[in-house]
Amino acid sequence: MSMKVIVENHVPFIKGRLEPFAEVLYLPCEEITPEAVASADALVVRTRTRCDNALLSGSRCRFIGTATIGTDHIDLPYCLSRGIEVANAPGCNAPAVAQWVHSTIARFMQARGLSDCSQLTLGIVGVGHVGSIVERWARSLGFRVLLCDPPRARQEGTEGFVSLDVIAAEAHIITFHTPLTRSGNDATYHLCDDAFTSSLRHCLLLLNSARGEITHTGSLLRALDSGTIGDVAIDCWENEPAISPGLLARAFVATPHIAGYSAEGKQRATAMVLDAMSRHFGWDIAIDRPDAPTPGAPIVTQPLIAASYDPLADTALLRHNPTQFEALRNGYALRSEVHTPCACVFGASSAHIDPVFTQAAFSLGAALADAGVECVNGAGREGIMRAVSDGILSRGGRVTGIIPRFMVDRGWCYDRLSDTIVTPDMESRKALMERRSDCIVAMPGGCGTLEELLQAITRRQLGLYDGEIVIFNVDGYFNPLLTMLNSCIERHFMHPSHRALWQVATTVAEVVQYATARHSTPTIASKYQ
């Protein structure tokens, strides 16, 4: 008997992966019926497919994979009693949901004329995969943060956690990140009800990107009317897709359950389900190793988060098409998660250079950290390398040093870096520095720096590196090299279009602008033309 798998047709990044092992049917949610499932050995679904006795009775299904974090659409006790393995994707889209939360907060603050995060208290209810990222980013942005997670508090101790009453009394912004549970001491169904909203004291904004039934729609509307809540931001709604028109009209942000809809999150979810299927059935499905749960961007700023996603645009679409909730959700153009830009800085490791260069390097490091740019460099403990690192660390930024083993053995490695990666040789060092960077900045240096810079330019010319290359021409140091490069062009050793392979900066501000701006790969003519 051949294997048969039914896949909900809106699960992305899966077509072609299962076909070598089974007959695969891609069906819309409404067509995943008991009749269709009867002959299926496995299901791959999302939250709209209810997997319970009504669907599964009489089927031969032995595996259900849900490409989602939650499992409240699956009757887990029933599946356990039937010997059906259930696999979900915990943490797969946590950075995307955190992006939705912080992008919403950033736009709310801008709209209300609030600029100082340190004057606001953020209450996080549920501190799992999503809540932990929301917390880390909030602390880095300067918010006072309160955490409410009774299960974690019982397991880990109460230090660092507060009650829901404290959240209600002290938080200016409250965001929910709990699972949906309907019974027990930690039931979250209608956690935000009249009793909770009437106890709020300072709530300017309340967000729900967890499960719709955590917040009671009527309670939210009454709280908005009474002023105990200033604004709400809703991604997860009661009674989806039949959402409340009143709440849709009143919400500051209103999106169609897409907070977690990043391309990276969907790729992780599918990979996690396929990985579980491989183990269950003994298949060798071709997938990239899932990187979930993932911690999200290591460094964020409010401008970086706000630039990465605009929830107000999705709000306008939903308000214009309120009856198209499912279509907007299923047809959503997956966005990219917040990405911390990373600059690779080349420069001298000499201790005997003019202070004008080390001062510029320190200033650059500090400015990169202030702009939310992560840095990699050669881990040197002297000269420009150390000055850049010191500048970054002085502002609480992050710098990773990449250094070959023989340099460590000779004592050349700076020991204050955020992280140090030791490579076997120089070539693997340069390759790793390039892979980790979105942009390369060349500061003054000797033969090693010049070799690294020219190799980077060559690789960008060949299409092997797509980041920006910035020559930081401190005190005119690179003038002879720039003259030489122009000579190469004038004498036809290089095409005039090759000038676009690099940018020249003379100030720290210019370097930071190049390191943080989105750029397009230049159109480069072949040298044979």
Catalytic residue among 257, 268, 459, 498: 257
Neighbours of 202 (CB within 10 A): 16
Catalytic residue among 107, 172, 211, 429: 211
Tokens of 512: 């930071």
3-state helix, strand and coil shares in percent for the chain, rounded to the nearest 5: 40, 15, 40
Please name the residues in contact with 464: beta carbons below 8 A apart, sequence gap of 6 or more: none
DSSP secondary structure code for residue 495 in this structure: -
DSSP secondary structure code for residue 333 in this structure: -
- Interatomic CA distance for residues 186 and 74, integer angstroms: 19
Please name the residues in contact with 352: beta carbons below 8 A apart, sequence gap of 6 or more: none
Work out the burial of residue 153: count CB atoms within 10 Å of its CB; fewer than 13 is exposed, 13-18 middle, 19 or more buried: middle
**Element (DSSP H or E) covering residue 403:** strand 399-404
Identify whether 90 is preceded by a cis peptide bond (ω within 30 of 0).
no
- Interatomic CA distance for residues 529 and 513, integer angstroms: 33
Please check whether residue 50 is in contact with residue 307, taking contact to mean a CB–CB distance below 8 angstroms.
no
DSSP string, 176-200: E------SSTT--TT-BSHHHHHT-
- Is position 10 annotated as part of the catalytic site? no
Tokens of 456: 């980077």
DSSP string, 282-307: T-----PPP--S----SS--HHHHHH
Tokens of 120: 């606001």
- Interatomic CA distance for residues 46 and 26, integer angstroms: 13
Q: State how far Cα 327 lies from the chain centre.
A: 24
DSSP secondary structure code for residue 336 in this structure: P
User: How far is residue 281 from each of residues 144, 151, 477, measured CA to CA in Å?
Assistant: 48, 34, 62
Please check whether residue 229 is in contact with residue 203, taking contact to mean a CB–CB distance below 8 angstroms.
yes
- Is position 257 annotated as part of the catalytic site? yes
Q: State how far Cα 298 lies from the chain centre.
A: 9
- Is position 211 annotated as part of the catalytic site? yes
Catalytic residue among 240, 326, 382, 510: 240
The per-type count for the chain, helices as H runs and strands as E runs, is 21, 18
- Interatomic CA distance for residues 213 and 236, integer angstroms: 8
User: How far is residue 169 from each of residues 153, 237, 521, measured CA to CA in Å?
Assistant: 19, 25, 51
In the block, tokens 């105990």 appear at: 228
> Which residue numbers are catalytic?
211, 240, 257
